[in-house]
Chain A
Amino acid sequence: MRRFVRRSDLGIIIGCIFIFALFSLWNPQQWFNWGTLSNIGQYTAILGLLAIGQTFVILIREIDLSVGSVYGIVGITFVGLESSNVGVFVAFIIAMLLALLIGLVNALLVIRGKVSSMIVTLGGLFFYRGLIYVTTHGAVTGTPQAARENWLSQLFGGHWLRIENGFLLLLLLAFLCANALYQTRFGNHLLALGGDPASAESQGVPVNRIKTSAFCLCSLFAGLSAVVTLANNPSTNVSLGTGMELQSIAAVVVGGTLLTGGRGTIFGTILGAFFLTAVRAEMIALGAPPSWYISFVGIALLIIVTVNTLLAKRLKLA
């Protein structure tokens, strides 16, 4: 196991060291700037939380294309409820319950309906986005001032020792998830299911329960990511989270997790999210037009996955 852990995220570890060194030498003033780094930390947290959830789903050979819309609808529900008088805490609980419900629906359709997760969640991508437009009529207010000062908003959106709380939350949850994945029965069952579903089932792994957990975790992380985003940045709009599903998948894959399931690490996913975020920040800092970012994600994805595949082959033969 420890050998395999070392292997699957090797590419992204090298990639992160490389860009860190490159940016440090190329543009040290802007790179070693607390504002830049903490900004990168915040966006890494947002993308990283989404990508942790996506990792669980991809590890069991499924995919969740709905996370961008789930991120949107949960976030907008959270903001909307904050503006009513239920209080921030209740708003948070209801928003997370909504996320959980969406995860359950995805799992139900995949398991009972026997529809491929790509179709189920593609449906979700459109449906939840549409629901946002319908329910809000296209107009969303930001977080009200009172809610911004609430302890919960401060917990998810504030700072601690000048570090963004969202980033600390990401590290904490990544640590917990990595342990859940590699040190518990749940994790072993999940990896087994991703490696060989028929074999896992033959040994008594509760396949449906594991699948349900993975989809629920994925939606919950998407919802949490939205809460972290909005606790930090009160203004929002109906397109919140558009395209985030593909970025989260990119972060997972760049992080060394195989789309064929069974192999991957939470650590790699976090580095993948950091990698994509850091490069975007640096491109903006260097004055490259922001639209280049999308092309860059494509190129980075291809390079890193190719390197990962070659490395995996090399190491297997050795």
Chain B
Amino acid sequence: MAKTDRAGDPRKPLISIRNVSLSYGNFQALTDVSVDFYQGELVGLVGDNGAGKTTLIRIISGINPPTSGEVHFDGERITKFHPKKAIDLGLECIQQTIGICDNLSVGRNYFLGREPVKRVLGLPFLDKKKIRETSAKVVHDFGLRDTVDVDDEIALLSGGEKQTFKIARAVTFRNRVIIMDEPTNHLSVRERAHVNELAVQLKQQGLLVIYITHDIFQIHRIADRIVIMENGRKVTDVPRDAMSAEALEGIIRDGGRAPAKGPKVA
């Protein structure tokens, strides 16, 4: 098991991954990974390409079932893996390229999959007033420009604004776990700072935030704990204060040298 100083933590982990392995055919993407995640925690999940970060997240968000091992959510063992199940449990995965439909308006994206309806002649129609007003309030609370009209196609937003939008949406639907997969790629310096600030705020509100990144220096500034993966295994799991960013970078660099080449599972 992980030898973190949380081993004796009286609180139960919100997500507990126990001896999980996953293979795609002959390729072993994850090997015997055990890690716990707690509520109100910001965990940096770091590692090189193909280290298994994304595979681990795919299991947590119900996209792939593990080949072996157990996943527990809030004390309950998960037996059926399905994205819908993860959504129902209050888990949202924010990815750079997935999550919004460019052809729909900001408001429609905001409520996608959870559209409010009102009955007209007994038939359920979209409650456009609610869609407009609620989404406008939330996106502006999260710092989007006042000129953003929620009836506009979301394609008009910048990359940072789209990330902010996804975070705003994830949070307001009372999610318990927010997974951010490389949330600051291709963002400007200012947008990056804004997204990182939001990640910290979410944690302070009591959510579990799992933050995936390549950038150990960036995550070291904001995370409570750093988990490093390499070649499908967890190699390090330490509280932020236990090691410097430079030392952690050294671990990633050294791990990157040894491995045999396998197909990448990004």
Contact = CB atoms under 8 A, between A and B. Distances in A.
A234 interface: no
Contacts of B103: 4, 191-192, 194-196, 262-263
B126 A200 contact: no
A201 B126 contact: no
B112 A3 contact: no
A106 B252 CA distance: 49
Contacts of A192: 101, 103-104, 108, 112
A184 B99 contact: no
Contacts of B108: 1, 188, 191-192
Given A1-B108, A185-B115, A205-B112, A199 B126 contact: no
B125 A183 contact: yes
A314 interface: no
A6 to B, nearest CB: 12
A313 interface: no
Interface string B182-207: 00000000000000000000000000
A4 B112 CA distance: 18
B117 A203 contact: no
A162 interface: no
A199 B100 contact: yes
A185 B119 CA distance: 12
Contacts of B112: 188-189, 192, 199-200, 203, 205
Given A4-B103, A195-B101, A203-B112, A188 B126 contact: yes
B105 interface: yes
A2 interface: yes
Contact of A1 (B117, B124, B125, B151): B151
Interface residues of A, number: 25
A284 interface: no
Contacts of A179: 125
A265 B98 CA distance: 25
Nearest to A59: B103
Given A201-B83, A203-B113, A204-B113, A183 B100 contact: no
A37 B32 CA distance: 73
Q: Which label, helix, strand, loop or mixed, suits the secondary structure of the A interface?
A: helix
A290 to B, nearest CB: 39
A33 to B, nearest CB: 39
A159 B129 CA distance: 40
Nearest to A205: B113
B152 interface: yes
Interface in A1-51: 1-4
A1 B135 CA distance: 14
Interface string B113-153: 11101000000111010000000000000000000000111
B83 A202 contact: yes
B103 to A, nearest CB: 4
A131 interface: no
A15 B253 CA distance: 62
Contacts of B84: 204
Nearest to A196: B101
B113 to A, nearest CB: 4
Most buried by B among A4, A199, A262: A199
Most buried by A among B95, B99, B101, B128: B101
Interface of A: 1-4, 179, 183-185, 188-189, 191-192, 194-196, 198-205, 262-263
Nearest 9 Cβ contacts at the A-B interface: A195-B103, A195-B101, A204-B113, A203-B113, A262-B103, A203-B112, A196-B101, A192-B101, A185-B115
